[in-house]
Amino acid sequence: MSENLEVISRHRCFEGTQTFYKHASGTIGLPMRFSVFVPPQAEQGRVPVLFYLAGLTCTEETFMIKAGAQRRAAELGLMLVSPDTSPRGAGVPGEDDDWDFGTGAGFYLDARREPWSKHYRMESYVTRELFELATTVLPGDPERAGIFGHSMGGHGALTLALRHPGRYRSVSAFAPIAAPARCPWGEKAFSGYLGDDRSQWAEHDASELMARASMPFPEGILIDQGLADNFLELQLYPEAFEAACQQAGQPLTLRRHEGYDHGYYFISTFMDSHLEFHARQLKK
């Protein structure tokens, strides 16, 4: 499998390495890109691995360039993996028409509707193919994996953690789309990728999934939300996920921050505490 990985660029970073890869994805059926920070501790063996899912319009570069995560990850011995946010060049009519659907907006699910279903299979890509690459070819430990993300990627982190029990030992999010079945972004994506059956939508809605769960993460979930976020009222609904966690008996730390918006200045401010949150759980 290693011969399938093409190194786009590699950089020394906090005594570890920051690498950007391209490979022929069997799951997607197209070339995919992802980025990896490997901490210096990987020279001694496998290390905990933390997958980061980025938001709408982002790429595999966004997190590694903007979040400022590598310094603390190197200190904690965490490997960081961030995929692209959708297939590129799938040739689906209209895939580049809107910023919130199609290219750059895969929503971390496997599409059911044609013509999207052929290539738009981000759930399988992240949870199977990328996970296998990170924990076989690369030095991630499959028994110590966590997941987190931002906005659309926060939705992805929460839903994939809930839909794949045992795969991820820790989960957190920044300003996630926490109830996509009831917000414009989610309604657009779900109707386009999944069709009109709302029971299928519920299977990819973190609040709906959590409401039916029974404390899947007993050591807690962490969410940070800025109160100056322009998308908070219309798109994000953290209060719906909070209520679902209460119903499920799920420990949740939902931190609301005055003055912070939806962008990477907010994310970078609280990045260290998320890395520390995951490290505590993944190193046990």
User: pTM above 0.85?
Assistant: yes
The chain-wide mean pLDDT, for the chain, equals 97
Q: If we measure between CA atoms, which residue out of 76, 54, 74, 75 comes closest to residue 65? A: 54
- For 249-266, what is each residue's pLDDT tens digit? 999 999 999 999 999 999
Which of 151, 170, 172, 207 is an active site residue?
Answer: 151
Q: Could you say which of 82, 229, 274, 278 is catalytic?
A: 229
Question: Which tens digits make up the pLDDT trace of 222-256?
Answer: 999 999 999 999 999 999 999 999 999 999 999 99
> Per the residue annotation, which of 23, 204, 262, 274 is the catalytic one?
262
* 284, pLDDT greater than 90: no
Alpha-carbon distance 185 to 176, whole Å?
A: 12
pLDDT digits (tens, 9 = 90+) for 166-214: 999 999 999 999 999 999 999 999 999 999 999 999 999 999 999 999 8
Active site residue 262: yes
DSSP state of 96: T
pLDDT at residue number 3: 54
Please confirm, yes or no, whether 229 is among the known catalytic residues.
yes
For residue 19, give both structure tokens.
Answer: 């690498």
pLDDT of residue 66: 98
Q: What percent of the chain has pLDDT over 70?
A: 99
Task: For residue range 78-125, list pLDDT tens digits in order.
Answer: 999 999 999 999 999 999 999 999 999 999 999 999 999 999 999 999
Let me know the angle formed at the C-alpha of 222 by 39 and 65, rounded to the nearest 5 degrees.
40
- Non-local (6+) Cβ contacts of 147 within 8 A are 50, 51, 52, 53, 157, 160, 161, 168, 170, 171
Structure confidence at residue 17 (pLDDT): 98
What would the mean pLDDT of 29-38 be, rounded to a whole number? Answer: 98
CB crowding 170-200: b at 16 or more within 10 Å, else e: bbbbbbbbbbbbebebbebbbebbbeeeeee
Q: Cα separation of 248 and 233, whole Å? A: 24
How confident is the model over 113-139, as a mean pLDDT? 98
User: Would you state the pLDDT for residue 185?
Assistant: 98
The arithmetic mean of pLDDT across residues 21-28, rounded, is 98
